[in-house]
Amino acid sequence: MRYIRPSSLEDAVGLLANASGKAAILAGGSDLLVRMKGGFIEPDVIIDIKAIDALGRIIENDDGFVIGAAVPCAVLGENTALRNAWPGVVEGARLIGSKQVQGRCTIVGNLCNASPAADSVPALVAAGARALVRGPAGSRTIAVETIPVGPGKTSLAPGEIIEAILLDKRQRHSGDAYQRFTPRTEMDIAVVSAAVNLTLNDQGVVEKARVALGAAAPTVLLVEEAADILVGSRVDDGALERLAEACSAACRPIDDKRGTVEFRKKVAGVLAKRVALTAYQRAGQK
Amino acid sequence: MNINTPIEEREFKIVGKSVKRDDVLEKVTGEAEYTGDVKLAGMLHGKIKRAAIAHARIKSIDVSKALAYPGVKAVLTHENVPRVLHYGSPHPRSASCTKDQYILDDKVRFWGEGVAAVAAISEEIADEALDLIEVEYEALPAVFEPEDAALPGAPLIHDVGPGGNLVLDPVRVNRGDVEAGFAQADFILEGTFSGGRPHPAYMEPNVCIADWDGSNKLTFWTSTQTSFMVRGILAEVLGLPLTKVRVLVDHMGGGFGAKQDCFQHEFLCALLAKETRRPVKMEFTRHETFVAGRARHPCKVWLKQGFKNDGTLVARDMKLVYDSGAYGSHGPGVTIVGTTAATSLYRCENVRLEGRCVYTNTPINGAFRGYGVVQSYYALDIQMDEAAERLGMDPADLKLKNVVRAGDIAPSGHPIVGHGLEICLQHGIDVLDWKSLRNRDRTPDPKRPHIRKGWGIGCEMHGSSAYPGIKEQGNATVKVNEDGTVTLLTGAAGLGTGAHTALAQIVAEELGVRFEDVGVIHGDTDVVPWDIGAFASHTTYLVGTAAKMAATKVRASVLERAAMKLQVKADELDLSEGKIFVTAEPGRFMSVAEAMGPSRGIPAANIVANGTYEPTKSYSFAAHFTEVHVDTETGIVEVKRVVPVHDIGRVIHPIAAQGQIEGGIQQGIGHTLTEDYVIDKKTGRSLNAGLVDYKMPLSMDMPDIETIILEAAPDPGGPWGAKGVGEDPIIAIGPSIANAIYDAIGVRFHHYPITPEDILKALREKGA
């Protein structure tokens, strides 16, 4: 097994493309090392991307935010501008593992681990976040929801690496929120989760909405019919009830030791209501 | 002997004060040495091959590839280890355990049982070699539930024992006339209850190191609560005299009762070291602490009680079935203690109890904080709440009316000397203003109508020793050094409870020296006096009394020595804070160092004394008052506040006692709400043998705990009336939560853990 720590993205992409055996990218390592120690994977090459300066930064520009692939989740929470613009994205990232884990783990790692229960992904999907992908054939930008294609599987081509997550510049009267259900309050894996992202008009009516559910299907679900219910509403009780029903109906979860289908469907709806209300309140504050 | 003299009243200088624990600095700086930290030159690493089948006969086992693997030094199977039938728990000849284990057998009785062991130059190589061992099994029909195992014709898991997969003959207790009692009853309540399989999940995984020297003596480091018992059973099984087995244990990262078995890996580690003539270390992974550790016995309880309309309990009929798992371990003790406990707590003259313990093809259940009583009192206390509701009474009033009182016969069969449950309950009722709590709004927050709040009470009593199952003995040796410092030698293990600090406090107090002047030597069976082990909430009560007795003796000797030097009679002297003085003339004094040290023509004194104490037992008591918030939309139950009121007699170290109570509550919250070690009922495979999916509550989940410790009922058998506290809190918290959930949402649960899914399902059914 070889461990390599390139200092440029070009080198990283080259190493990845030319790796003869299985290669793995190491950022925080909070998934990779666990999987290696558990004997689930045995990469021939480990490419540590933390020495690539550009990947360790959060940049705010005219288009919004560029979050480098090696930025630990704890750092997201320390960025006031990001926290104010995308509080739901930040709260998802800061529910992963524990304080200690958040000091290492990254949202790109969380995305590429492709767990349906990943805490940072529903809020990214609801936010309409895009991933900047670099590969042997050049760069491309794709919606984050297209990256995981099933538990543990991504749509990334061999040799491709996610360079950064892009979040749009925040429009006025916008807010997002994320919540998950876990039996305890930390160091846990979502049984089911929900994220809502809203933009209101000046009258407080929802103009745009995105609703995403986690651990409710093999990948994070973007529930358009639920978003349609919110659009045009003031997130009143009636809309919330219909939202909950739509979310419950959209779920395609499994029965497992962490929760049953019935429970996940019910709680997906409950959480969607709660995050919709929080997102609406946050949107009203701006 | 049992001490039954009145408790001495005195002004304490050290006892009752939270002195700085002797182990904290080492622990917080990382200097404390645990077994896993020990590294010996040339040390090999041992690993165990575990069966991936629940019940099978081993047809063949081929270790040739593993033996040929570079770095592998030895492989053991049932074909080359001694075949000695032995006790699973090292309390041989007690009523607590059963003799049904071999080091390795040609039969597999649970998924995860060890079938071979490897020693290699690294853990990784040992691990890899396990995959090279080829085992051919003949699968046998397996049973995973006690009901199935007890059916006629069920596959038999053992050849030993009373048969029918029973671990021991049913435990039966009869007092009074149950049928006559029911005939007097105005109403009868009947219900079934069940408990899951919570695991102690101690922080330090099981670990041991074996090293044989040139004289064929085994030195054995192991994380155990019962070092002398491990010494005894190792010697017995390996055919060695006790002089040839030395067991060492320094610091431990918890045990909670489960580390009082002698585990398969401990024998295998010793044998691998013998085979290779090199030290061998074996350390469990977290996964192994589940599959090869010990959990609490899952239990099914049927309980029927008759009540008069004034709340008097007139009959109790109860049947308990404990699931032992694949081996007996502490099944007999747990069944006896858990069953007989139901004679008490709430008074009832007519009692008929039957406890069974049944083998199943599941991982082994063993001793664990609360030892069978968690299960039986969960049922008793919840049904008491149901009776109160039926009577239209406040459960607090009904419990107060019926709680055990002075002179009542304890589960152990002897009258209780110190009884504190009534005062614990009354105290809690008063400080919480319970009556007004009962009348408050259950949904006080109009913005969060889905949050319902409830309060519940759980009561318990628990003995501070394993009597009468085991007639215990506590020992201590106290030496006074020539500089006036004092050394206490004890075999009591330090699980992390602060026991050694409490023992040092007792010696310092009794002797009249400063706490800082007492050093404690422990954990070396070649050095310290014999010890029964740290379990049954008894260390302070049992070993504390022995230490006090030894201190009394050395104190007299020190005064004799000083009397000679001061030219007075010993009974004219007093000793306090390391100073010996003439009582009538305090200006005439000398330090203990001056008394002990040499002077012209007189060598330094050699003062050593032993204390040996063989008690019956005392009982401690608690009432827990618990507030829960139930989210009726997600089913999550949040324990917000617990007011535990405990009577533990004389408190030696208040912070340590409080720590025991808070820790027990936290552990009990987990067992009641989130923790359950789940075994697949089709294959016997463990489904959540790890801390990702075995959900222990963490620090963020901890409620406000406002501990109240009363010294209401000191027991003359303990040092200045001290009693046990280790197990009590985990027993009372469970029913207090279940009763609080009922108070909040009007749904009764008769099982644990009570999961969010259970809550939502019950609410849905209630609504329908």
Assigned domain for B645 exists: yes
**pLDDT for B626-674, tens place per residue?**
999 999 999 999 999 999 999 999 999 999 999 999 999 999 999 999 9
What's the rounded Cα separation, in Å, for the pair A63 and B638?
Answer: 43
User: In this structure, what token pair is assigned to residue B691?
Assistant: 């801390």
- Interface check for B196 against chain A (CB to CB < 8 A): the answer is no
N-to-C CA span, chain A: 51
Show which of residues 736-765 on chain B sit within 8 Å of chain A, judged by CB atoms: 755-757, 760
Three-class SS string for B533-593? CCCCCCHHHHHHHHHHHHHHHHHHHHHHHHHHHHCCCHHHEEEECCEEEECCEEEEEEEHH
Pair (B652, B587) in one structural domain: no
Pair (B757, B622) in one structural domain: yes
Q: Can you say whether residue B398 is alpha, beta or left, with left for phi > 0 and alpha for psi between -120 and 50 degrees?
A: alpha
* DSSP structural state of residue B237: H
Check B756 against A189: CB less than 8 A apart.
no
Assigned domain for B102 exists: no
CB B709 within 8 A of CB B651: yes
Share of chain B above pLDDT 70, in %: 98
Query: Which of A189, A260, A270 lies closest to B634 in CB terms?
Result: A270
Contacts of B191 (CB under 8 A, 6+ apart): B302, B303, B304, B379, B382, B383, B386, B750
Residue B3 has pLDDT above 60, yes or no: no
Assigned domain for B384 exists: no
Domain boundary among B613, B631, B654: B613
Residue with tokens 């992908």: A133
Question: Chain B residue with minimal CA distance to A260?
Answer: B757
Assigned domain for A178 exists: yes
Q: How many CA atoms lie within 13 A of B759 on its CB side?
A: 29
Q: Alpha helices of A71-137 — where are they, by DSSP H?
A: 73-78, 80-85, 87-93, 99-102, 107-112, 121-127
Say what the pLDDT of residue A286 is. Answer: 58
Assigned domain for A56 exists: no
CB B635 within 8 A of CB B572: no
What residues pair up with B313 in beta bridges, in sequence order?
A: B307
Confidence of residue B7 (pLDDT cuts 50, 70, 90): confident
Question: Chain A residue with minimal CA distance to B761?
Answer: A263
Q: How many CA atoms lie within 13 A of B87 on its CB side?
A: 25
For every residue of B355-414, DSSP letters joined together read EEEEE-SSPPB---TTTTHHHHHHHHHHHHHHHHHHHT--HHHHHHHHB--TTPBPTTSS
Pair (B628, B557) in one structural domain: no
Assigned domain for B387 exists: no
Which residues of chain B make contact with A276, given a CB cutoff of 8 A?
Answer: none
What's the rounded Cα separation, in Å, for the pair B335 and B469?
Answer: 11
Find the domain containing B760 and state its range: 418-461+618-768
Which residues of chain B make contact with A181, given a CB cutoff of 8 A?
Answer: 634, 636, 756
CA distances from residue A132 to A135, A141, B600 in whole angstroms, order as listed = 10, 5, 89
Q: Determine the distance in angstroms separating the CA of B701 from the nearest CA of chain A, rounded to an integer.
A: 6
CB B333 within 8 A of CB B26: no
Query: Which amino acid is present at B491?
Result: G
Query: Which amino acid is present at B199?
Result: H
**pLDDT for B125-166, tens place per residue?**
999 999 999 999 999 999 999 999 999 999 999 998 899 999
What's the rounded Cα separation, in Å, for the pair B367 and B469?
Answer: 13
Assigned domain for A257 exists: yes
Size of interface A-B (CB pairs under 8 A): 44
What residues pair up with A152 in beta bridges, in sequence order?
A: none
**ipTM beyond 0.90?**
yes
Pair (B649, B511) in one structural domain: no
CB B98 within 8 A of CB B161: yes
Query: Which of A183, A187, A266 lies closest to B760 in CB terms?
Result: A266
Assigned domain for A40 exists: no
What does the pLDDT average to over B347-353? 97
- Interface check for B636 against chain A (CB to CB < 8 A): the answer is yes
* Stated pTM of the model: 0.96
Question: Chain A residue with minimal CA distance to B450?
Answer: A270
Looking at the structure of chain B, the number of domains it has is 2
Residue B659: alpha-carbon gap to chain centroid: 15
Pair (B488, B540) in one structural domain: yes
Give, to the nearest 10 degrees, the angle between helix B331-341 and helix B373-391.
20
Q: Helix (H, G, I), strand (E, B), or coil: what is residue B41?
A: coil
Q: Which helix (H) or strand (E) holds B128?
A: helix B123-130
Assigned domain for B709 exists: yes
Q: Which residues of A lie closer than 8 Å to B, measured between beta carbons? A: 181, 183-189, 257-260, 263, 266-267, 270-271
Q: Are strands B637-647 and B704-705 parallel, antiparallel or unpaired?
A: parallel
**pLDDT for B677-713, tens place per residue?**
999 999 999 999 999 999 999 999 999 999 999 999 9
What's the rounded Cα separation, in Å, for the pair B373 and A10?
Answer: 65
Domain boundary among B598, B613, B628: B613
Which residues of chain A make contact with B697, given a CB cutoff of 8 A?
Answer: 184
Assigned domain for B372 exists: no
**Mean pLDDT value across chain B:** 95
Q: Can you say whether residue B280 is alpha, beta or left, with left for phi > 0 and alpha for psi between -120 and 50 degrees?
A: beta
Q: Helix (H, G, I), strand (E, B), or coil: what is residue B298?
A: coil
Which phi and psi angles does B626 have, rounded to 5°?
-130, 135
Say what the pLDDT of residue B2 is. Answer: 42
Residue B567: alpha-carbon gap to chain centroid: 51
Q: How many CA atoms lie within 13 A of B616 on its CB side?
A: 15
Assigned domain for A91 exists: no
What's the rounded Cα separation, in Å, for the pair B604 and B55?
Answer: 65
Pair (B683, B553) in one structural domain: no
Pair (B648, B602) in one structural domain: no
CB A108 within 8 A of CB A165: yes
Sign of the four-CA dihedral B12, B16, B22, B26: negative
Pair (B447, B577) in one structural domain: no
Domain boundary among B613, B638, B662: B613
Assigned domain for B745 exists: yes
Say what the pLDDT of residue B768 is. Answer: 60
* DSSP structural state of residue B19: P
What's the rounded Cα separation, in Å, for the pair B406 and A147?
Answer: 70
Which residues of chain B make contact with A185, given a CB cutoff of 8 A?
Answer: 698, 700-701
Give, to the nearest 10 degrees, the angle between helix B728-745 and helix B373-391.
30
User: In this structure, what token pair is assigned to residue B204?
Assistant: 């330090």
Assigned domain for A77 exists: no
User: In this structure, what token pair is assigned to residue B94?
Assistant: 């007690």
Q: Determine the distance in angstroms separating the CA of A270 from the nearest CA of chain B, rounded to an integer.
A: 7
Say what the pLDDT of residue B604 is. Answer: 94
Say what the pLDDT of residue B1 is. Answer: 39
- Interface check for B702 against chain A (CB to CB < 8 A): the answer is no
Assigned domain for B233 exists: no
CATH number, domain containing residue B453:
3.30.365.10
Check B757 against A263: CB less than 8 A apart.
yes
Q: Can you say whether residue B300 is alpha, beta or left, with left for phi > 0 and alpha for psi between -120 and 50 degrees?
A: beta
N-to-C CA span, chain B: 62
Q: Can you say whether residue A7 is alpha, beta or left, with left for phi > 0 and alpha for psi between -120 and 50 degrees?
A: alpha
Residue B564: alpha-carbon gap to chain centroid: 47
Pair (B688, B763) in one structural domain: yes
What's the rounded Cα separation, in Å, for the pair B595 and B602?
Answer: 11
Pair (B696, B744) in one structural domain: yes
User: In this structure, what token pair is assigned to residue B170?
Assistant: 């049913």
Residue with tokens 């110190």: B418
Contacts of B316 (CB under 8 A, 6+ apart): B178, B181, B303, B304, B305, B306, B342, B348, B350, B351, B352, B353
Check B678 against A257: CB less than 8 A apart.
yes
Pair (B591, B666) in one structural domain: no
Contacts of B308 (CB under 8 A, 6+ apart): B184, B185, B186, B314
Pair (B745, B684) in one structural domain: yes
* DSSP structural state of residue B722: B
Which phi and psi angles does A130 have, rounded to 5°?
-120, 155
pLDDT < 50 positions in chain A = none
Say what the pLDDT of residue A21 is. Answer: 74
User: In this structure, what token pair is assigned to residue A52?
Assistant: 């690539």
What does the pLDDT average to over B604-624? 96
What's the rounded Cα separation, in Å, for the pair B336 and B352?
Answer: 14
Which residues of chain A make contact with B688, given a CB cutoff of 8 A?
Answer: 257
CB B665 within 8 A of CB B644: yes
CB B735 within 8 A of CB B635: no
Find the domain containing A244 and state its range: 174-284
Looking at the structure of chain A, the number of domains it has is 1
Which residues of chain B make contact with A187, given a CB cutoff of 8 A?
Answer: 698
Say what the pLDDT of residue B415 is. Answer: 85
User: In this structure, what token pair is assigned to residue B88?
Assistant: 């699973």
What's the rounded Cα separation, in Å, for the pair B475 and B307?
Answer: 46
Residue with tokens 């607090």: B396
Bond before B92 cis per omega within 30 degrees: no
Assigned domain for A214 exists: yes
CB B221 within 8 A of CB B282: no
**pLDDT for B461-519, tens place per residue?**
999 988 888 889 999 999 999 999 999 999 999 888 999 999 999 999 999 999 999 99
- Interface check for B701 against chain A (CB to CB < 8 A): the answer is yes
CB B744 within 8 A of CB B628: yes
Question: Chain A residue with minimal CA distance to B679?
Answer: A257
Assigned domain for A48 exists: no
Contacts of B687 (CB under 8 A, 6+ apart): A257, B678, B679, B680, B693
CB A280 within 8 A of CB A272: no
CATH number, domain containing residue A225:
3.30.390.50
Query: Which of B636, B687, B760 lies closest to A257 in CB terms?
Result: B687
Say what the pLDDT of residue A285 is. Answer: 72
